[in-house]
Amino acid sequence: MQGWVHDNHRLKPCMTPDILLPLMVMASAVTHALVNALMKSHGDRIALRSAISAVEAIGGAIAAFFVPLPEGGVWLVLILSAFIHVAYQIILMAAYTHADFSLAYPVARGTAPLLTALGAMILFGEHVPIEVMAGVFLISAALIAFALEPQRQTVLHRKGVLLAAATGVAITAYTLVDVWGVRLAADPMSFIVWLYIACCFLLNSGMLLTGGRASALRIARAWRPGIVGGILSLISYTLALLAFDMGATAEVAALRETSVLFGVMLGVFLFGERLGLRRAVSALVIASGAILIAVH
């Protein structure tokens, strides 16, 4: 990868977008799966999420010295996005409380690509080619089928599914708002770095106000995995937002949800989870959808 250059205050890729964009999105998907595997393995997910957010904010604060401040209108989009991101984290944690990780995560991520594609067409007037729409549909359907096993249909299961679907709506909302923000800003990095700072302020101030010193101690105990997760998360979402600035919203959003594939591999090899025929077939369908989008 040859990197990026500044052109009239905007980042421009030195590589051909057709090559760079899929590489960026897939790298974002891999790091996203690693962050979620880290979250799964930790006993206090809320504290770890707060620690990760703090690391993101530190990275954002350092980078803020090297980028211009967001323009007036961008601040409003940024604040709206920060509130949606925090709401997403709260709904996601509730989904994890009422459903297995292997259920909540695929349903949440599978709901988002199709909704995001529709939102991009309506809000941004983006044209979504038929092969991209087919790929988006395949990925969404396969991700949901991946998790919805008939033998798991219990009351608790249904509540978890509803919360996971609500998480998908939140993902759609912050994706569309963030796409708006990075495209509205003169320099997309100014939106990105201040978004990390704003999200940390909202999430951690809320946790500290409700839990006080006990919450601070919980966050402090999660500092080691928080550093690892924070660095991975910075890489993951920064790459995703830069990709949104370069390419079509629907295909970038759908390709990023292939993180579930990498999550499956991590589940099998790191956590010893079983990969049955249903999930293996769903994984192949997800891969087929990703290929349709990447080669259109």
Beta bridge partners of 11: 6
Q: How many CB atoms lie within 10 A of CB 66?
A: 9
How far, in Å, CA of 274 to CA of 296, rounded? 33
* Separation in Å, CA 233 to CA 27, 29, 236: 11, 10, 5
**pLDDT for the residue numbered 1:** 38
Pick the range with the lowest mean pLDDT from 43-52, 222-231, 264-273. 264-273
Confidence band of 16 (pLDDT split at 50, 70, 90)? low
Q: Which of 261, 294, 291 is nearest to 29 (CA)?
A: 261
pTM of the predicted protein model:
0.83
* Residues 195, 60 contacting (CB under 8 angstroms): yes
Statement: residue 13 has pLDDT above 50: yes
Q: What is the mean pLDDT of residues 169-187?
A: 94
The predicted structure's pLDDT at residue 2: 42
Distance between CA atoms of residues 81 and 203, nearest Å: 13
Q: 270 pLDDT band (50/70/90 cuts)?
A: confident
* Domain layout of the chain by residue ranges: 27-294
Alpha carbons within 13 A on the beta-carbon side of 78: 24
User: Distance between CA 203 and CA 48 in Å, rounded?
Assistant: 12
Yes or no: say if 123 and 256 are a contact pair by the CB < 8 Å rule.
no
Res 269 pLDDT > 50: yes
Indicate the pLDDT class of residue 101, thresholds 50, 70 and 90: low
Q: What is the pLDDT of residue 266?
A: 79
Of how many residues is the chain composed? 296
DSSP code for 151: G
What is the structure's pLDDT at 166? 93
Name, in order, each residue with C-beta under 8 angstroms of 45's C-beta and a sequence gap of 6 or more: 39, 93, 96
Mean pLDDT along residues 116-124: 91
Does residue 3 have a pLDDT over 50? Answer: no
